[in-house]
Amino acid sequence: DAGITQSPRHKVTETGTPVTLRCHQTENHRYMYWYRQDPGHGLRLIHYSYGVKDTDKGEVSDGYSVSRSKTEDFLLTLESATSSQTSVYFCAISKTGNQPQHFGDGTRLSIL
Amino acid sequence: TQLLEQSPQFLSIQEGENLTVYCNSSSVFSSLQWYRQEPGEGPVLLVTVVTGGEVKKLKRLTFQFGDARKDSSLHITAAQPGDTGLYLCAGPRAGGTSYGKLTFGQGTILTVHP
């Protein structure tokens, strides 16, 4: 299995609070991705990174920011969480943009 | 916008039955991937189909890529309870440097009863 660790695995927080999710990889892969998974929507890309300090928006980036200060860590931040951001969040990594992605086990985030 | 439509969304069958899951689009994809996801885990890649008309087999699973590269199907023969899970198709977004960005279908939840 690809070495991907997401933390925390579960989190419950209140509307308006900041939340940071962490994705840590031990594979030294260049590409990292954050997705959210909601019933009936499959997975939707939030942000992605193609190298240290190189990030860009995905299809559902509003309300989210990311940072990648080193190869192994990709952080997803909800500056002011809203109930619509309740979801399961998955991190994925890929050696190159053309190779398959390997996924972490997800973070279940509930915003009350 | 490239969309992938999966059908059916839910499938509940008895052990030993055959089934087919479809993944359709109005757009051409350079390749399509199929993933399987179990509760509490992330998706795991099953196969990538690249060539129009391509057929790939993985034990009892048969994957086909349409000739026009706009659709794909997953056929399971003699389904077993261990096949239960969420099946997702995904394809790389077109245009410029894709950076590996994927579009996913909504998923098909398969339940195989003993």
Q: What's the pLDDT at B17?
A: 97
pLDDT band at A1 (very low <50, low <70, confident <90, very high): low
Query: Is A64 or B99 the better-scoring residue by pLDDT?
Result: A64
B102 vs A: CB within 8 A: yes
Distance from CA of B60 to the nearest CA of A (A): 22
Phi, psi of A89 (to 5 degrees): -110, 130
Residue B96 has pLDDT above 70, yes or no: no
Nearest chain B Cα to A4, which residue?
B42
DSSP label of B67: T
Averaged confidence pLDDT in chain B: 93
Residue A34 contacts B, CB cutoff 8 Å: no
Q: What average pLDDT does this structure show over B63-85? A: 96
Q: According to the model, what pLDDT value does residue A62 have?
A: 96
Judged by a CB distance cut-off of 8 A, whether residue A89 touches chain B is no
Dmax (CA) of chain A: 38
- Using a CB-CB cut-off of 8 Å, the residues of chain B touching A98 are 100
In angstroms, what is the C-alpha Rg of chain A?
13
pLDDT digits (tens, 9 = 90+) for A38-85: 988 889 999 999 999 999 999 999 999 999 999 999 999 999 999 999
- Please, which pLDDT band fits residue B93 given cuts at 50, 70 and 90? confident
Nearest to B105 by CA among B32, B47, B50: B32
CA gap A52, A50 in Å, rounded = 7
CA distance A10 to B37: 18
Token representation of residue B21 = 């899951």
- Tell me whether residues B88 and A43 touch, CB distance under 8 A: yes
Task: Return mean pLDDT, chain A.
Answer: 94
| Coil vs helix vs strand at B32 | strand
Taking residues A12-26, what's their average pLDDT? Answer: 97
More confidently predicted of B1 and B62? B62
- Cβ–Cβ < 8 Å for B35, B45: yes
Count chain A–chain B contacts defined by CB atoms under 8 A.
58
Residue B2: pLDDT band (50, 70, 90) is confident
pLDDT band at B42 (very low <50, low <70, confident <90, very high): very high
Give the pLDDT of residue A2: 65
What pLDDT score was predicted for residue B78? 97
